[in-house]
Amino acid sequence: MKKILIGAVAALALTSCATILNGSRANVTIMCPDAERANLTVDDIYYRDVQFPITVSVKRGFSPSVIRVSDGERIGSTYVDKTFNETTLWNILLGGIPGFAIDAATGSITKPEMDSYIIYLDHTYPDVTVPYRPQDPLL
């Protein structure tokens, strides 16, 4: 009976393995060969005048994270797509549905597809507004 109780307590304590072991954020490295220093935006969090390469934290979850780099004249961006986090599979052994549900709720069920990303900057162009001109009727 004592072994069953210890096993049950251990199973409850170790549920949501991915949340406990990995957390709800993941680190990725950003490299930008076109600029030594630039402004960086990650998931709507702004970092001013960072030096590359830099390691930043992105949200785990089902939607991709957006990373933008800008040096004032040029801009570059990429999406951080997510894949399945294998650590979540431990929930099957240690408690099943409750741990899996906690991992899904915190977003720990996913991880970034890659550990590092290279962002190249493109020249930005000023907004050009072209007025609407209806076609001249044929005479």
The residues spanned by each domain of the chain are 2-123
Residues (pLDDT < 70) of the chain are: 1, 3-21, 92, 94-96, 124-139
Entry pTM: 0.70
- Residue 67: C-alpha distances to residues 12, 26, 83, 106, 126 (Å): 37, 14, 17, 21, 21
- Residue 118: C-alpha distances to residues 17, 76, 108 (Å): 31, 10, 24
Q: Which residue is it, tokens 């933008």?
A: 68
pLDDT at 128: 46
The strand pair at 25-31 and 54-59 is best described as: antiparallel
pLDDT at 108: 79
